[in-house]
Structure 1
Amino acid sequence: MEWKTQERRVAKTDRRAIGRMLLGHLRFLQSVINGVTDPVLVIGTDMRVKLINQAARDFPVSRKNGGRFSENSHCYRVLFGLEQPCDKVGRACPLMEVLESGKAVSVSQDITLKSGELRHYEVFASPLLGDDDTLLGIIEILRDVTELNCAAEVLKKSHDELERRVEARTIELKKVNDALRLEVEERRWAEDQLLQACEQAKLVYSVIPSAIFTVDLERKITSWNKKAEKITGYTEAEVLGKPCSVFALEPCTVKGCGVYSKTVKKPIINRICEIKTKDGRVRIASKNADLLRDASGRVIGAVESFSDITEQQNIDRQLRTERDKFRGILSALDHGMHILNRDYEIEYQNEILRRTFGDKIGEKCYEVYKQRDAPCEVCRMHAAIESNEIQRTEEVMSDHRHYEQSYVPFVDVDGETKALILLRDVTEEKKYRAETMRAGQLASIGELAAGVAHEINNPINGIINYAQVLLDDSSQVSLEGEAVNPVQREMLDRIIKEGERIAYIVRNLLFFARQREEEAEVVEIGAIVDDSLALIKHQLQKDGIRISTDIPEGLPPIRVHPQQLQQVFLNLLSNARYALNHRYPGRDAGKKLEIRCRQVQDPGRTMVRTEITDHGEGIPPEMLSQIFEPFFSSKKPGEGTGLGLSISAGLIRDFQGELRVASELGVYTTMTVDLPAYGE
């Protein structure tokens, strides 16, 4: 009896040693798996998940019930949130391919994440065999090849399962006190399970698409996988037992990787660092790291994984460079840029448009461009997207300036078709173009007026001369004592006066038609007003407009181009005539036009002010800020070009003066022309 008791004590001691050894290996294996950030699953032949790591649990796909699932859920429900197997919905099924081939397979999958983002994954599936080579299922690893952010955590679930099995087996062994043979078998079974788990861990360690290595407390490398060898060029034999600084660009003492620092939070995820390869090249790596602990929780080392992101960084740098070049080109061309999505939202704007409109990211284009509450009837952005062709237009926007617009469709990185809007302010360009066109028109009109004036001048002189001869003859008859018809004499006087008035208008017309390139002259403001009235006075009187002028003597002279200033006054008088006729279609006592000139003092200089006031319909307040813009007109289509006041304001500015407007709707409109006195 004593020897049997002693054997039982020895067996119990061996079981405890084996348990501690298993627990240590499991903790080590669990720490290694915690360094893997790729989703890893063990799937049985019944398509149910037998083992799953945390990365797979956190896989961001939409699932019912808030994303919860049991340990025995189907793989297609866990990974893709599907209600039926992958092959039933047109997806490749790694399990089915492994069952058919009996070999490891790689399958590409496009997966839409919970955020709506489409990601591309490479799924590695390896067969999982039992002791008798029976296929128990597959080990499945998902690698996000979109951005190569890989991390691994695969073995945690298998460790837990193994611990539960060992614990359950240990409890059974405690109950069987009279079966030493069963105790030995249980010990061998546990060893086999541990060996199998280690083999599985080695398999996972070798197929994980990330470089993984472990170090001890002295930072000496204790394990090194094939991916690490591929990235750095160092073989396992060359680095084992050496400090990890063998491939670090700088010694750990300079910046420190932080894995043993108490101030750095673990695990370390996606830390960017630089490494050097065996052939001396410098590569950029994204590193993950965590501590390794033994069965008692004591730190015994660290596990690290890293991926080579050099090419990705270079591409990002090139993209930033090209983006900066594009921004520079747009700035040099003075082009503003917006990016719009199909919902009319502004997703991006460059500095030019930020200065023009303010920060409008997230706002609707029709609110910013046109101050509308709904999309435009004709939407150039949607036309560009639907036709996949560039749309161009030119419009006045909310800042009352003209913009040349180009709508360019493109596919953004999120896969959505959007429109890039290029805006160029062409207000000044249109103004100069309008002035040039107006100048050409005036030159043509001047040439026509000069020709017509010369053609009229000769017959008018003949009429005046013949009328004067008849008048002289009538006077001579009177001296001889014969009766003279007074009506005839009055008609001859009127013919001579009207002929001289026509001749005077012709002289003014010829004067107005002179080339604008002439030098500026020192003139009296009253003379320019009189010449302008002479050209339009007959039309004003014909319309029943009462004209009153107040031009005192002794006003300071001004230095201007007389023809250009006369052009300004003619335009203002024509506008006043239009406003009065529009309010009073016939004759009316209120149909008045007032012209007043006076001397005023502006800060630092003397000005000669001319005010032209009509008591017509007035100008609406919302239009007062727009009447000097090119092509803006309150007249009906065909009655005005919208260029007169714009050109007039430009001419007055050329004379160092100012043209202003004051108006009250339905009461009056006053156009004020201030010109500096000569010598100021």
Structure 2
Amino acid sequence: MEIGVYIGLLKNIELLMIVIILYQLNSYLGLKFGQIHPLFKGSVIGLIGMFIMSFPYVFQDGLVFDARSTLIASVALFFSTPTLLISSTIMIIFRYFMGGVGLLTGILVITVTTLIGLLWKRYCLNSKALPFWLNVYLYGLLVHAAMMLTMYTLPAPLAQNVISILGIPVLLLYPVVTVIISIFLLIQKKYDESFELINDAQQMYSSLFNNQHTVMLVIDPQDGQIVDANPAAMNFYGWTKDELLNKKMSEINTLNSEQIKIEMEKARQSNKSRFKFKHRKANGEIIDVEIFSGPISIDKRQLLYSIVVDISARVVAEAEMKRNMDLFRTVVENEPDAIFIQLERRFAYLNPAALTLFRAHDESEMIGMRILDRVHPDFHDEVKDTMTDININRIQTQPKHRIYLTINNEHLDVESFAVPIVFNGQNGAMVIARDISSKLDAMRALKRSESNFRSVVKNVPIPIFIHQNGRFAFMNPAALTFFGASLDDDLINMPLTRFVPDQDVEDIIQNMNRVYVDKTEIPLHQRQFIRMDGKPIYSEVGAVPISYDGVDSAMVFARDLTIQLEMQRRQMELEMHIQQKQRLESIGTLAGGVAHEINNPINGIMNYAQLIVESENADSKIENYGNSIIRESNRISDIVRSLLQFSRFEKSAHSYSSMIDIIDHSLSLIKIIFIKDQIDLRVTLEEDLPNLKCRSQQIQQVFMNLMTNARDALNDKYPGYDENKIIEVNVKQKFHDNRRWICLSVKDFGMGISEEVRNRLFEPFYSTKPKDKGTGLGLAISFGIVADHHGTIDIDTVEGEYSVFTVMLPVDNDWHLM
């Protein structure tokens, strides 16, 4: 028995050393090369088990004992399940090849120990009811008690002999050894976990520090030496990392060395973490930066970790805001009208005129007071709604008469309006108020004379309005109708310039100034106005100076010329249509004659070529030449056929026509010209398009005009070849207003069309081309043709990029076929 005990002890010591070496190797490889794959770990442990099993204590021939149970028990607690299963499988296979009377018992020991280890690790190891050493001791006792029970798989006399000799030594020593090994592995595991946490923290620091977005520096506060700089700092300052690490902050910060040292000491002592400095870049540029700095310990050195933020734009914005605020105060405080600012329905600022208006001696008497406290109760609801519109909806109010209350509750007649502003970062309103008590007295005195004036002007059938201080002050009913308004309030106090085209605003202002200042009458002249619904209205207007409500004003007379000018325009369009029709008829007659003359020789050429091809003596070369002649003659014939169709002017007849045929016939006439100009023509025709009720020659003329304009636009922009020299033609069907429409669009990538040109594009004789290249009638005629077909022409253009002309034609335009 003593010999067995000693052998058991030696085996456990051997196991202890092997496990130490194993775990040290595992820890070293894991920390050096990262996580080791469980297959590799399990294989290494399995080989160690094979090594232990190669030097067993031989109880008798075929029955051996070794420390495999302690090895497997330790692996089960501190290694992953895949590692445990792989190592156990290797040891089972090895024990199988060892054979002997103890084969089944040995395999059973490995299997039982593995199962107990898995269950104990999952359900018992982390229990806080017992100390760790006692938990592992009970685990070792259970494992080796189970091992002893497996001995009963041996023949009965042998099993009894084994248990009597080895039972007590195994149960006394192996659990203790298991505890010792487990405690060592636990300590080593905690060390490894701590090391991994440190390594993770270093990697996180490195990942955070070495980025391209946030400028970061590590600085020695003793002398200001830059210890480390991230890539973003190199990009920001313009120096390489080596150059930055050789610099001190005194070479970057514009402060002197002593001031820099004082500021760094504040950061080191954590007395201050946010600083604003001016830094110098490699190119000499001085920029404003904000630095967030704090102490950090690296390799037992106390350093400063600093984040640098470029605030140049913010500094400029703050300076501009301060300048604007100073300018605001300078202007507002010298303004004769009362001006105050309301925030959250309370007074936040009052200029001197406002303090005088409210009879206050000092701003402190008013700041923070509710606005409604200084408004007559009759106007409370109105003022509440106004403040809601301004503070929430940001709507500017119009000047209105209200009654304010002074500090002494005296009534004040004022005219006030408000505009939304942002003051000290909050939405509020600036209110401008004027004491109109004297003005109201004067108005009452003039009321009778004004009533007489109104009674006369009101019944005049021509539009008359009074223009005062750039706004409407009076409108007679005819003037309201003229501008498309129903009530005086729709127009009174509205600026006249809102109702004239932008290009005429300056001229209107000059004319009104001549009336106000020079007291000069403006003779009758034609002028365009814009009604409230946006429609233009043409008139003949004149103005005379008057005094209205005691203010220099202008009384304007107007006569509506819209109908007269529209009739003149239609007459001019009709005359141009007739002239153009005559020209086209002449050209069509000439084109038809030329086409007929060409057809005869072409037919002869084709017949002779056919005879050559069919000749018995014709070889393959001659036959190819003959076929080429026939093919090219057919192409000429197609061109002549399209030319003939184009020349057939329809007087009044119209019929169902295929839009695809119209496009194809037109392209056959012009495609050679487009190839010559190196224009990429891209045509997309939707299948199954319905036939169009139209005059086909007229629609062909519209398409030809659009294609010609697109070609000219591309040739102006790209005189030679260019990959963007493209014209896109699209024809498709659309449904709109419960009707079917044919949509034809021609898009070119030329110079585009300016807004000024676009507004006049369909005017007859208006052209941007030289006189020898255009008459200015193409688009005007096209517009008339499309309108005659109950269709529309729309333009989408971006100047310098592209133009798209879209023609919309109804499939059925309600014409009766004749």
Structure of greater Rg: 2
- Would you call these one fold, judging by a TM-score over 0.5? no
> Which is helix-richer, 1 or 2?
2
**Larger RCO (CA within 8 A; separation ≥ 6):** 1
TM-score interval, normalised by the smaller of the two chains: 0.3 to 0.5
- In the superposition, the TM-score normalised over structure 2's length comes to 0.35
